[in-house]
Protein backbone atom coordinates (compact mmCIF):
# COMPACT_ATOMS: atom_id res chain seq x y z
CA UNK A 1 0.00 0.00 0.00
CA UNK A 2 1.26 3.47 -0.92
CA UNK A 3 0.85 6.21 1.68
CA UNK A 4 -0.94 9.22 0.15
CA UNK A 5 0.65 12.41 1.50
CA UNK A 6 -0.52 16.02 1.34
CA UNK A 7 2.09 18.80 1.73
CA UNK A 8 1.31 22.22 3.24
CA UNK A 9 4.06 24.70 2.29
CA UNK A 10 6.09 24.20 -0.88
CA UNK A 11 8.95 26.53 0.02
CA UNK A 12 12.61 25.60 0.38
CA UNK A 13 12.32 22.56 2.64
CA UNK A 14 8.87 21.54 1.38
CA UNK A 15 10.34 21.16 -2.13
CA UNK A 16 13.28 19.14 -0.78
CA UNK A 17 10.96 16.74 1.05
CA UNK A 18 8.60 16.40 -1.96
CA UNK A 19 11.62 15.54 -4.09
CA UNK A 20 13.03 12.94 -1.66
CA UNK A 21 9.65 11.22 -1.17
CA UNK A 22 9.06 11.11 -4.93
CA UNK A 23 12.55 10.18 -6.12
CA UNK A 24 14.59 8.63 -3.28
CA UNK A 25 12.22 6.90 -0.87
CA UNK A 26 9.72 4.08 -1.10
CA UNK A 27 6.12 3.48 -0.12
CA UNK A 28 4.61 6.96 -0.42
CA UNK A 29 3.42 9.44 -3.00
CA UNK A 30 2.62 13.16 -2.88
CA UNK A 31 -1.03 13.43 -3.93
CA UNK A 32 -1.78 16.96 -2.71
CA UNK A 33 0.04 20.25 -2.20
CA UNK A 34 -0.88 23.73 -1.08
CA UNK A 35 0.93 26.97 -0.45
CA UNK A 36 -0.25 30.44 0.50
CA UNK A 37 1.64 31.33 -2.70
CA UNK A 38 -0.48 29.16 -5.02
CA UNK A 39 1.65 29.93 -8.10
CA UNK A 40 4.62 28.36 -6.35
CA UNK A 41 2.67 25.19 -5.48
CA UNK A 42 1.60 24.90 -9.13
CA UNK A 43 5.23 25.35 -10.27
CA UNK A 44 6.46 22.66 -7.87
CA UNK A 45 3.91 20.14 -9.22
CA UNK A 46 5.05 20.89 -12.79
CA UNK A 47 8.78 21.05 -12.10
CA UNK A 48 8.86 17.83 -10.10
CA UNK A 49 6.38 16.18 -12.49
CA UNK A 50 4.18 14.81 -9.70
CA UNK A 51 0.56 13.77 -9.97
CA UNK A 52 -0.67 16.01 -7.15
CA UNK A 53 -3.76 18.20 -6.85
CA UNK A 54 -3.17 21.82 -5.78
CA UNK A 55 -5.53 22.80 -2.93
CA UNK A 56 -6.70 26.32 -2.03
CA UNK A 57 -5.78 26.02 1.66
CA UNK A 58 -4.10 23.80 4.21
CA UNK A 59 -7.43 23.09 5.89
CA UNK A 60 -9.04 21.98 2.62
CA UNK A 61 -6.08 19.66 1.97
CA UNK A 62 -6.32 18.15 5.47
CA UNK A 63 -10.04 17.46 4.98
CA UNK A 64 -9.58 15.78 1.58
CA UNK A 65 -10.49 12.08 1.60
CA UNK A 66 -7.65 11.53 -0.91
CA UNK A 67 -5.04 12.53 1.71
CA UNK A 68 -4.02 9.96 4.35
CA UNK A 69 -1.09 11.76 6.01
CA UNK A 70 -0.03 15.40 6.24
CA UNK A 71 3.37 17.11 5.99
CA UNK A 72 3.56 20.64 7.39
CA UNK A 73 6.50 22.55 5.88
CA UNK A 74 5.05 26.04 5.87
CA UNK A 75 6.38 28.93 8.00
CA UNK A 76 6.64 28.25 11.72
CA UNK A 77 3.74 30.57 12.78
CA UNK A 78 1.30 28.46 10.70
CA UNK A 79 2.28 25.07 12.16
CA UNK A 80 0.01 25.01 15.22
CA UNK A 81 -3.19 25.60 13.23
CA UNK A 82 -2.42 22.84 10.71
CA UNK A 83 -1.24 20.26 13.26
CA UNK A 84 -4.38 20.84 15.38
CA UNK A 85 -6.56 20.45 12.26
CA UNK A 86 -4.78 17.18 11.35
CA UNK A 87 -5.32 15.80 14.87
CA UNK A 88 -8.96 16.87 14.67
CA UNK A 89 -9.25 14.95 11.38
CA UNK A 90 -7.51 11.93 12.99
CA UNK A 91 -4.68 11.99 10.39
CA UNK A 92 -0.95 11.37 11.03
CA UNK A 93 1.08 14.57 10.66
CA UNK A 94 4.80 15.26 10.19
CA UNK A 95 5.55 18.85 11.21
CA UNK A 96 8.86 20.62 10.53
CA UNK A 97 10.35 22.30 13.57
CA UNK A 98 9.14 24.31 15.40
CA UNK A 99 5.99 22.40 16.35
CA UNK A 100 4.53 25.81 17.27
CA UNK A 101 6.18 29.14 17.88
CA UNK A 102 5.26 29.26 21.59
CA UNK A 103 5.43 26.68 24.37
CA UNK A 104 1.71 27.31 25.02
CA UNK A 105 0.97 26.48 21.38
CA UNK A 106 2.95 23.22 21.65
CA UNK A 107 1.10 22.37 24.87
CA UNK A 108 -2.24 22.88 23.09
CA UNK A 109 -1.08 20.31 20.52
CA UNK A 110 0.03 17.87 23.25
CA UNK A 111 -3.34 18.26 25.00
CA UNK A 112 -5.27 17.76 21.74
CA UNK A 113 -3.29 14.61 20.93
CA UNK A 114 -3.73 13.14 24.41
CA UNK A 115 -7.47 13.86 24.22
CA UNK A 116 -7.58 12.23 20.77
CA UNK A 117 -6.11 9.14 22.44
CA UNK A 118 -3.59 8.06 19.79
CA UNK A 119 -0.20 9.52 18.82
CA UNK A 120 -0.35 11.20 15.40
CA UNK A 121 2.35 13.89 15.49
CA UNK A 122 6.06 13.66 14.58
CA UNK A 123 8.33 16.73 14.69
CA UNK A 124 11.16 17.37 12.18
CA UNK A 125 14.16 17.00 14.47
CA UNK A 126 16.15 15.07 11.87
CA UNK A 127 19.43 14.86 13.77
CA UNK A 128 18.06 11.88 15.73
CA UNK A 129 18.13 10.00 12.40
CA UNK A 130 21.67 11.03 11.46
CA UNK A 131 24.05 8.08 11.35
CA UNK A 132 26.86 9.96 13.12
CA UNK A 133 24.62 11.01 16.03
CA UNK A 134 23.29 7.44 16.27
CA UNK A 135 26.85 6.09 16.39
CA UNK A 136 27.74 8.57 19.14
CA UNK A 137 24.62 7.59 21.12
CA UNK A 138 25.52 3.91 20.82
CA UNK A 139 28.99 4.57 22.29
CA UNK A 140 27.43 6.43 25.25
CA UNK A 141 24.64 3.88 25.80
CA UNK A 142 27.17 1.01 25.79
CA UNK A 143 29.07 2.73 28.60
CA UNK A 144 32.29 3.03 26.56
CA UNK A 145 33.17 6.42 28.10
CA UNK A 146 31.51 5.88 31.49
CA UNK A 147 28.80 8.26 32.66
CA UNK A 148 28.68 11.51 30.64
CA UNK A 149 29.81 14.55 32.66
CA UNK A 150 30.19 17.38 30.14
CA UNK A 151 29.27 18.08 26.51
CA UNK A 152 30.92 20.64 24.21
CA UNK A 153 29.25 21.49 20.92
CA UNK A 154 29.33 23.98 18.06
CA UNK A 155 26.66 24.86 15.48
CA UNK A 156 28.29 26.97 12.77
CA UNK A 157 26.90 28.15 9.45
CA UNK A 158 28.65 30.30 6.84
CA UNK A 159 25.88 32.94 6.83
CA UNK A 160 22.35 33.39 8.11
CA UNK A 161 20.31 35.24 5.48
CA UNK A 162 16.90 36.22 6.81
CA UNK A 163 17.81 35.65 10.48
CA UNK A 164 16.08 38.11 12.78
CA UNK A 165 15.83 38.60 16.56
CA UNK A 166 16.62 35.43 18.46
CA UNK A 167 16.46 33.00 15.50
CA UNK A 168 19.99 31.73 16.23
CA UNK A 169 18.46 30.27 19.41
CA UNK A 170 14.91 29.43 18.32
CA UNK A 171 15.53 28.26 14.75
CA UNK A 172 19.07 26.95 14.81
CA UNK A 173 20.20 25.94 18.35
CA UNK A 174 16.80 24.30 18.82
CA UNK A 175 18.31 21.28 17.03
CA UNK A 176 20.91 20.92 19.83
CA UNK A 177 18.20 21.45 22.46
CA UNK A 178 16.40 18.43 21.04
CA UNK A 179 19.23 16.13 20.06
CA UNK A 180 21.26 16.50 23.28
CA UNK A 181 18.46 15.42 25.61
CA UNK A 182 17.88 12.45 23.29
CA UNK A 183 21.62 11.69 23.22
CA UNK A 184 21.99 11.83 27.00
CA UNK A 185 18.53 10.49 27.84
CA UNK A 186 18.11 13.40 30.24
CA UNK A 187 16.19 16.68 30.62
CA UNK A 188 17.26 20.26 31.29
CA UNK A 189 16.96 22.19 34.55
CA UNK A 190 18.51 25.55 33.61
CA UNK A 191 19.84 27.68 30.77
CA UNK A 192 22.24 30.58 30.45
CA UNK A 193 23.26 32.50 27.31
CA UNK A 194 26.56 34.34 26.99
CA UNK A 195 27.21 36.95 24.31
CA UNK A 196 30.80 36.98 23.02
CA UNK A 197 32.35 39.78 20.95
CA UNK A 198 30.10 40.31 17.91
CA UNK A 199 31.34 39.39 14.45
CA UNK A 200 31.39 42.15 11.85
CA UNK A 201 29.71 39.70 9.43
CA UNK A 202 26.38 39.61 11.33
CA UNK A 203 23.48 41.67 9.92
CA UNK A 204 23.02 45.00 11.66
CA UNK A 205 21.45 44.72 15.11
CA UNK A 206 21.92 40.95 15.31
CA UNK A 207 24.05 39.23 17.93
CA UNK A 208 26.37 36.51 16.63
CA UNK A 209 27.95 34.34 18.10
CA UNK A 210 26.13 33.04 21.21
CA UNK A 211 27.17 30.52 23.84
CA UNK A 212 24.32 28.47 25.30
CA UNK A 213 24.97 26.75 28.62
CA UNK A 214 22.55 24.06 29.77
CA UNK A 215 22.46 21.96 32.93
CA UNK A 216 20.64 18.62 33.00
CA UNK A 217 18.77 16.83 35.79
CA UNK A 218 21.76 14.48 36.20
CA UNK A 219 24.08 17.50 36.56
CA UNK A 220 25.69 17.21 33.12
CA UNK A 221 26.99 20.59 31.93
CA UNK A 222 26.55 21.42 28.25
CA UNK A 223 28.12 24.25 26.30
CA UNK A 224 27.02 24.99 22.72
CA UNK A 225 28.52 27.68 20.54
CA UNK A 226 26.20 29.09 17.89
CA UNK A 227 28.08 30.99 15.18
CA UNK A 228 25.85 31.46 12.16
CA UNK A 229 28.06 33.85 10.15
CA UNK A 230 31.29 31.92 10.52
CA UNK A 231 32.07 32.27 6.79
CA UNK A 232 34.00 29.04 6.35
CA UNK A 233 31.33 26.31 6.27
CA UNK A 234 28.43 24.44 7.90
CA UNK A 235 30.14 22.72 10.76
CA UNK A 236 28.40 20.72 13.51
CA UNK A 237 30.58 19.56 16.38
CA UNK A 238 29.77 17.57 19.51
CA UNK A 239 32.11 16.05 22.08
CA UNK A 240 30.87 14.13 25.11
CA UNK A 241 33.27 13.89 28.05
CA UNK A 242 32.63 10.87 30.24
CA UNK A 243 34.21 9.45 33.40
CA UNK A 244 36.63 7.22 31.49
CA UNK A 245 36.93 8.78 28.03
CA UNK A 246 35.59 11.16 25.44
CA UNK A 247 33.52 10.55 22.31
CA UNK A 248 33.23 12.87 19.32
CA UNK A 249 30.52 13.18 16.69
CA UNK A 250 32.15 11.70 13.54
CA UNK A 251 33.00 14.21 10.81
CA UNK A 252 31.07 13.81 7.52
CA UNK A 253 33.20 11.64 5.29
CA UNK A 254 35.29 13.38 2.64
CA UNK A 255 38.31 12.50 0.56
CA UNK A 256 41.58 13.60 2.18
CA UNK A 257 43.51 15.40 -0.55
CA UNK A 258 47.28 15.80 -0.60
CA UNK A 259 48.15 18.58 -3.01
CA UNK A 260 50.13 21.78 -3.24
CA UNK A 261 52.08 20.93 -0.07
CA UNK A 262 48.84 20.58 1.93
CA UNK A 263 46.74 17.75 3.35
CA UNK A 264 43.07 18.87 3.24
CA UNK A 265 39.47 17.71 3.73
CA UNK A 266 36.46 19.48 2.27
CA UNK A 267 34.01 21.13 4.73
CA UNK A 268 30.32 21.20 3.71
CA UNK A 269 28.62 24.59 3.48
CA UNK A 270 24.89 23.78 3.61
CA UNK A 271 22.68 22.01 6.18
CA UNK A 272 20.82 20.34 3.28
CA UNK A 273 23.99 18.45 2.35
CA UNK A 274 25.20 17.79 5.91
CA UNK A 275 21.92 16.17 6.90
CA UNK A 276 20.74 14.76 3.55
CA UNK A 277 21.02 11.15 4.74
CA UNK A 278 19.35 12.03 8.06
CA UNK A 279 16.37 13.57 6.22
CA UNK A 280 16.09 10.48 4.01
CA UNK A 281 16.14 8.09 7.00
CA UNK A 282 13.75 10.37 8.92
CA UNK A 283 11.15 10.26 6.15
CA UNK A 284 11.54 6.58 5.26
CA UNK A 285 11.03 5.70 8.95
CA UNK A 286 8.08 8.09 9.18
CA UNK A 287 6.43 6.51 6.10
CA UNK A 288 7.01 2.97 7.43
CA UNK A 289 5.81 3.78 10.98
CA UNK A 290 2.78 5.71 9.72
CA UNK A 291 1.68 2.73 7.66
CA UNK A 292 1.83 0.61 10.84
CA UNK A 293 -0.18 3.26 12.70
CA UNK A 294 2.81 4.15 14.93
CA UNK A 295 4.85 7.25 15.78
CA UNK A 296 8.47 6.27 16.47
CA UNK A 297 10.24 9.61 15.97
CA UNK A 298 10.34 12.88 17.95
CA UNK A 299 6.88 13.38 19.44
CA UNK A 300 4.67 16.37 20.15
CA UNK A 301 6.04 16.16 23.71
CA UNK A 302 9.59 16.56 22.34
CA UNK A 303 8.40 19.56 20.32
CA UNK A 304 6.95 21.04 23.52
CA UNK A 305 10.14 20.45 25.53
CA UNK A 306 12.20 22.11 22.77
CA UNK A 307 9.89 25.15 22.87
CA UNK A 308 10.09 25.44 26.69
CA UNK A 309 13.89 25.20 26.45
CA UNK A 310 14.16 27.77 23.68
CA UNK A 311 11.87 30.17 25.61
CA UNK A 312 14.19 29.81 28.63
CA UNK A 313 17.21 30.57 26.43
CA UNK A 314 15.57 33.68 24.95
CA UNK A 315 14.77 34.84 28.50
CA UNK A 316 18.32 34.02 29.68
CA UNK A 317 19.73 36.08 26.81
CA UNK A 318 17.49 39.01 27.83
CA UNK A 319 18.24 38.87 31.56
CA UNK A 320 21.85 37.70 31.44
CA UNK A 321 20.89 35.35 34.28
CA UNK A 322 20.69 31.58 34.73
CA UNK A 323 17.03 30.77 34.02
CA UNK A 324 15.34 27.67 35.47
CA UNK A 325 13.66 25.24 33.10
CA UNK A 326 10.69 23.44 34.55
CA UNK A 327 8.27 21.21 32.78
CA UNK A 328 5.09 19.42 33.83
CA UNK A 329 5.48 15.63 34.15
CA UNK A 330 5.47 13.88 30.79
CA UNK A 331 2.08 12.19 30.21
CA UNK A 332 2.46 8.37 30.28
CA UNK A 333 0.87 8.51 26.82
CA UNK A 334 4.32 9.49 25.45
CA UNK A 335 6.29 6.70 27.19
CA UNK A 336 6.13 4.31 24.25
CA UNK A 337 7.83 4.68 20.86
CA UNK A 338 10.98 6.64 20.05
CA UNK A 339 13.05 3.46 19.68
CA UNK A 340 16.54 4.03 18.34
CA UNK A 341 17.95 1.63 15.77
CA UNK A 342 21.42 1.67 14.20
P1 LIG B 1 10.15 28.71 3.18
O2 LIG B 1 9.79 30.12 3.49
O3 LIG B 1 11.06 28.46 2.04
O4 LIG B 1 8.86 27.89 2.89
C5 LIG B 1 7.69 28.05 3.63
C6 LIG B 1 6.53 27.92 2.70
O7 LIG B 1 5.34 27.90 3.44
C8 LIG B 1 6.44 29.06 1.74
O9 LIG B 1 6.36 28.56 0.44
C10 LIG B 1 5.17 29.74 2.15
O11 LIG B 1 4.50 30.32 1.05
C12 LIG B 1 4.37 28.59 2.74
N13 LIG B 1 3.35 28.96 3.64
C14 LIG B 1 3.39 29.85 4.60
N15 LIG B 1 2.21 29.93 5.20
C16 LIG B 1 1.43 29.04 4.63
C17 LIG B 1 0.09 28.65 4.81
N18 LIG B 1 -0.66 29.19 5.74
N19 LIG B 1 -0.42 27.68 4.05
C20 LIG B 1 0.35 27.14 3.12
N21 LIG B 1 1.63 27.46 2.89
C22 LIG B 1 2.16 28.41 3.63
O23 LIG B 1 10.69 28.10 4.53
P24 LIG B 1 11.56 26.83 4.74
O25 LIG B 1 12.99 27.20 4.83
O26 LIG B 1 11.15 25.82 3.77
O27 LIG B 1 11.13 26.42 6.20
C28 LIG B 1 9.90 25.81 6.43
C29 LIG B 1 9.93 25.11 7.75
O30 LIG B 1 10.92 24.15 7.77
C31 LIG B 1 10.21 25.99 8.94
O32 LIG B 1 9.41 25.61 10.01
C33 LIG B 1 11.65 25.73 9.23
O34 LIG B 1 11.97 25.92 10.60
C35 LIG B 1 11.77 24.30 8.85
N36 LIG B 1 13.08 23.95 8.47
C37 LIG B 1 13.64 22.85 9.05
C38 LIG B 1 14.91 22.50 8.75
C39 LIG B 1 15.53 21.33 9.39
O40 LIG B 1 16.76 21.23 9.41
N41 LIG B 1 14.73 20.42 9.91
C42 LIG B 1 15.71 23.24 7.80
C43 LIG B 1 15.01 24.34 7.20
C44 LIG B 1 13.73 24.67 7.54
P1 LIG C 1 10.21 28.72 3.19
O2 LIG C 1 9.85 30.16 3.50
O3 LIG C 1 11.11 28.48 2.04
O4 LIG C 1 8.90 27.94 2.89
C5 LIG C 1 7.73 28.12 3.63
C6 LIG C 1 6.57 27.97 2.70
O7 LIG C 1 5.38 27.96 3.44
C8 LIG C 1 6.48 29.09 1.72
O9 LIG C 1 6.40 28.58 0.43
C10 LIG C 1 5.19 29.79 2.11
O11 LIG C 1 4.53 30.35 1.03
C12 LIG C 1 4.41 28.64 2.73
N13 LIG C 1 3.37 29.01 3.61
C14 LIG C 1 3.41 29.93 4.56
N15 LIG C 1 2.24 30.01 5.17
C16 LIG C 1 1.45 29.12 4.59
C17 LIG C 1 0.12 28.73 4.79
N18 LIG C 1 -0.64 29.27 5.71
N19 LIG C 1 -0.39 27.75 4.03
C20 LIG C 1 0.38 27.20 3.12
N21 LIG C 1 1.65 27.52 2.88
C22 LIG C 1 2.18 28.47 3.62
O23 LIG C 1 10.74 28.11 4.52
P24 LIG C 1 11.60 26.84 4.74
O25 LIG C 1 13.04 27.20 4.80
O26 LIG C 1 11.16 25.81 3.76
O27 LIG C 1 11.18 26.43 6.20
C28 LIG C 1 9.94 25.87 6.44
C29 LIG C 1 9.97 25.17 7.77
O30 LIG C 1 10.95 24.19 7.76
C31 LIG C 1 10.27 26.05 8.94
O32 LIG C 1 9.46 25.68 10.02
C33 LIG C 1 11.70 25.77 9.22
O34 LIG C 1 12.04 25.95 10.58
C35 LIG C 1 11.81 24.35 8.84
N36 LIG C 1 13.14 23.99 8.45
C37 LIG C 1 13.70 22.93 9.04
C38 LIG C 1 14.99 22.56 8.72
C39 LIG C 1 15.64 21.39 9.35
O40 LIG C 1 16.86 21.30 9.32
N41 LIG C 1 14.87 20.48 9.91
C42 LIG C 1 15.69 23.29 7.78
C43 LIG C 1 15.06 24.37 7.17
C44 LIG C 1 13.76 24.70 7.53
C1 LIG D 1 17.51 25.90 9.59
O2 LIG D 1 16.19 26.34 9.74
C3 LIG D 1 17.65 24.55 10.14
O4 LIG D 1 16.77 23.98 10.71
C5 LIG D 1 19.01 24.00 10.01
O6 LIG D 1 19.09 22.67 10.39
C7 LIG D 1 19.89 24.86 10.88
O8 LIG D 1 21.21 24.38 10.95
C9 LIG D 1 19.87 26.27 10.35
O10 LIG D 1 20.67 27.07 11.15
C11 LIG D 1 18.44 26.81 10.34
O12 LIG D 1 18.40 28.06 9.75
Distant-in-sequence, close-in-space partners of 159: CB < 8 Å, separation ≥ 6: 201, 228, 229, 231
pLDDT score at 327: 87
Q: Is the minimum distance from the CB of 172 to ligand 3 under 6 angstroms?
A: yes
Q: Is the minimum distance from the CB of 133 to ligand 3 under 6 angstroms?
A: no
Work out which ligand 3 atom sits closest to the CA atom of 168: 10
Extract the residue ranges of the chain whose pLDDT is less than 50.
Answer: 338-342
pLDDT score at 297: 97
Within 13 Å, how many C-alpha atoms sit on residue 116's CB side? 21
pLDDT score at 78: 98
Q: How far is CA 315 from the centre of its chain?
A: 21
Q: How far is CA 195 from the centre of its chain?
A: 24
Location of each CATH 3.40.50.720 domain in the chain: 3-127+278-299
Which of 7, 8, 11, 169, when mutated, tests ligand 2's pocket best, judged by the most ligand atoms within 8 Å of its CB? 11
**Hey, whose CA ends up nearest to atom 1 of ligand 3?**
172
pLDDT score at 227: 98
CATH of range 131-269+304-324; options 3.30.1330.40, 3.40.109.10, 3.30.360.10, 3.90.1150.10: 3.30.360.10
How far, in Å, CA of 49 to CA of 292, rounded?
28
Complete DSSP assignment for 43-56: HHHHHTT---EEPS
Location of each CATH 3.30.360.10 domain in the chain: 131-269+304-324
| Fold of the domain built from segment(s) 3-127+278-299 | Rossmann fold (3.40.50)
Q: Is the minimum distance from the CB of 271 to ligand 3 under 6 angstroms?
A: yes
Amino acid sequence: MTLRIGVIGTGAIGQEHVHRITHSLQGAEIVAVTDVNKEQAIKVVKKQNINAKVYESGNELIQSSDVEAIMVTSWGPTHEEFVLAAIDAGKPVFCEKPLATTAEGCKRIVDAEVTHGKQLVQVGFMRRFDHSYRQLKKVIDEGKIGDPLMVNCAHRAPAAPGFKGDMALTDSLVHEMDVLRWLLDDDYVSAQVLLPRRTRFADEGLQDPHIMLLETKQGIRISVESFVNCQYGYDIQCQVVGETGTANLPEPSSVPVRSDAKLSNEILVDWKDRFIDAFNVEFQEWIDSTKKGEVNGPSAWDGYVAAVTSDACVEAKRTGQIEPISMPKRPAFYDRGQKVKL
